């Protein structure tokens, strides 16, 4: 079997315990959570005690715990994550409808900050302890120290409220036809501030990592050899040092993509971005457990996807892994 399917297969197999663990934790949370799910669903005192009992029976809440667990597991495997207490819609549909917004926000952020972060990290590492190094690295530390939600909020006050250059909230102006040129222009307009603010954070993180990794790489024997062979400085840096230094960055990016929802929560809240982060905060505020648990499961799935992606990128940038498959 060729390497790529084998690695993807192994990763997916390794993911099975993680998924089972998540489902178990999910199930435990449902039963630890204060409040009766039936009361949560219909509201306090809305129906008679008999009707409550009937509903409880029909939901299987009177069954022994292990039967309830099996029921839960089966429905999750069938893609049924339950019904939201608040929206009265299937959790899977609600979540699916919010995915594109978060992917757009975080995807743009990752692209921009990976490019800038690698650039700054390389430039800083070329002359360690020089002025450019110190300035860039101090900015990088500032980037991941300043609370993003606060920075976003200040940016809103300046660019949206005071100057009126950019929209205050949301993802697109209402009333535009989806898919039209005007629609995408409006989305782009709304995307500027959140992506800029969030990218400052990720750029700082990646730049710092890349600098450390580049410094290690530049000390390698192969660099000494390349210099001895008289290769030009730029060729050494771009063809030899950078490809070697980039592996840890791929690891961290993979981790961060898995942690995407954490990254999105605060920024989406500040900018009223209609994605999964805002959805989570609302679900917490409204104690909408089925929705929260669906989000919980989604994060595990994202960690698994990110793991597989990371491995595939390793293969792409390091041909040695491919040949000994």
Partner 1 sequence: MADISRVADPLAMSKGEEPMQTVPHWREAWVHFRHSRIAVLALGVLLLLGFAALLAPWLAPYSPTEVSVMDVLQSPNALHWWGTDDLGRDVYSGALYGLRISMAVGLMAGLVAAILGTIIGALAGFLGGWVDALLMRITDFILTIPVLFLALVLIPVFGSSRLIVIFVIGGLAWPSIARLVRAEFLKLRSEAFVEAARGYGARRFKLIFSEILPNTFDLVLVSTALQVPAAILIEAGLSFLGVGDPEPRSLGLMLKDAYGLLGLAWWSAVFPGLVLSALAISLNLVADAFNDAVRGHE
Q: What residues make contact with partner 1 under the rule CB under 8 A?
A: 18, 29, 32-34, 128-129, 134, 138, 141-142, 144-150, 153-154, 156-157, 161-162, 168, 198, 201-202, 205, 208-209, 212-213, 215, 247-248, 251-252, 255-256, 258-259, 261-263, 265-267, 269-270, 280-281, 284-285, 287, 292, 295-296, 299, 303, 307
Between 177 and 221, whose beta carbon lies closer to partner 1?
A: 221
Spatial contact of 197 and 268, defined as CB atoms under 8 Å apart: no
Output the CA angle 298-16-283, nearest 5 degrees: 20
Instruction: Supply the minimum distance, in Å, between the C-beta of residue 177 and partner 1.
Output: 30
Q: Say how many CA atoms lie within 13 Å of 196 toward its Cβ.
A: 15
| Partners of 115 in the β-ladder | none
Between 54 and 142, whose beta carbon lies closer to partner 1?
A: 142
For residue 175, give both structure tokens: 């009333």
Spatial contact of 82 and 73, defined as CB atoms under 8 Å apart: no
Between 52 and 305, whose beta carbon lies closer to partner 1?
A: 305
Spatial contact of 76 and 19, defined as CB atoms under 8 Å apart: no
Instruction: Supply the minimum distance, in Å, between the C-beta of residue 156 and partner 1.
Output: 7
Instruction: Supply the minimum distance, in Å, between the C-beta of residue 174 and partner 1.
Output: 20
Between 226 and 283, whose beta carbon lies closer to partner 1?
A: 283
Helix axes 181-218, 247-258, angle to 10 degrees: 140
Instruction: Supply the minimum distance, in Å, between the C-beta of residue 53 and partner 1.
Output: 25
For residue 121, give both structure tokens: 């990290």
Between 191 and 288, whose beta carbon lies closer to partner 1?
A: 288
Between 126 and 176, whose beta carbon lies closer to partner 1?
A: 126
Instruction: Supply the minimum distance, in Å, between the C-beta of residue 160 and partner 1.
Output: 9
Element of type H or E holding 89: none
| Partners of 90 in the β-ladder | 83
Between 47 and 158, whose beta carbon lies closer to partner 1?
A: 158
Q: Where are the alpha helices (DSSP H) in 127-259?
A: 131-145, 148-155, 181-218, 221-228, 233-235, 242-245, 247-258
Between 14 and 62, whose beta carbon lies closer to partner 1?
A: 14
185-194, long-range: CB < 8 A, 24+ apart: 187/104, 190/166, 190/271, 190/273, 191/104, 191/105, 191/108, 192/166, 193/152, 193/155, 193/156, 193/159, 193/160, 193/166, 193/271, 194/105, 194/109, 194/152, 194/267, 194/268, 194/270, 194/271, 194/273
Instruction: Supply the minimum distance, in Å, between the C-beta of residue 151 and partner 1.
Output: 8
Instruction: Supply the minimum distance, in Å, between the C-beta of residue 153 and partner 1.
Output: 6
Instruction: Supply the minimum distance, in Å, between the C-beta of residue 259 and partner 1.
Output: 4
């Amino acid at each position: 079997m060729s390497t790529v399917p084998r690695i993807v297969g192994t990763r997916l197999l390794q993911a099975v315990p993680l998924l089972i663990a998540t489902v178990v934790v999910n199930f435990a949370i449902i039963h630890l959570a204060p409040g009766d799910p039936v009361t949560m669903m219909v509201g306090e005192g809305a129906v008679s005690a008999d009707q409550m009992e009937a509903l409880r029976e029909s939901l299987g809440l009177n069954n022994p715990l292990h039967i309830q667990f099996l029921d839960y597991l089966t429905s999750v495997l069938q893609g049924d994550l339950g019904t939201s207490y608040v929206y009265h819609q299937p959790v899977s549909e609600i979540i699916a409808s919010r995915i594109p917004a978060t992917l757009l926000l975080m995807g743009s952020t990752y692209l921009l900050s990976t490019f800038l972060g690698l650039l700054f990290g390389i430039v800083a590492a070329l002359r360690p302890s020089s002025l450019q190094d110190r300035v860039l690295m101090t900015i990088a530390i500032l980037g991941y120290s300043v609370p993003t939600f606060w920075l976003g909020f200040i940016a809103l006050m300046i660019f949206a409220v005071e100057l009126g250059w950019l929209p205050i909230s949301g993802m697109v102006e209402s009333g535009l036809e989806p898919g039209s040129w005007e629609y995408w222009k409006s989305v782009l307009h709304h995307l500027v501030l959140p992506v800029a603010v969030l990218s400052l954070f990720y750029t700082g993180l990646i730049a710092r990592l890349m600098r450390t990794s580049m410094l290690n790489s530049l000390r390698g024997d192969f660099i000494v050899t390349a210099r001895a062979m008289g290769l030009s400085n730029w060729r050494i840096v771009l063809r030899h040092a950078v490809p070697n230094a980039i592996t840890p960055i791929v690891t961290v990016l993979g981790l961060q993509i898995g942690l995407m929802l954490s990254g999105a929560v605060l920024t989406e809240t500040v900018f009223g971005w209609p994605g999964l982060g805002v959805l989570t905060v609302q679900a917490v505020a409204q104690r909408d457990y089925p929705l929260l648990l669906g989000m919980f499961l989604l994060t595990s799935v994202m960690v698994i996807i990110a793991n597989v992606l990371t491995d595939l990128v390793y293969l792409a940038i390091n041909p040695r892994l491919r040949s000994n498959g």
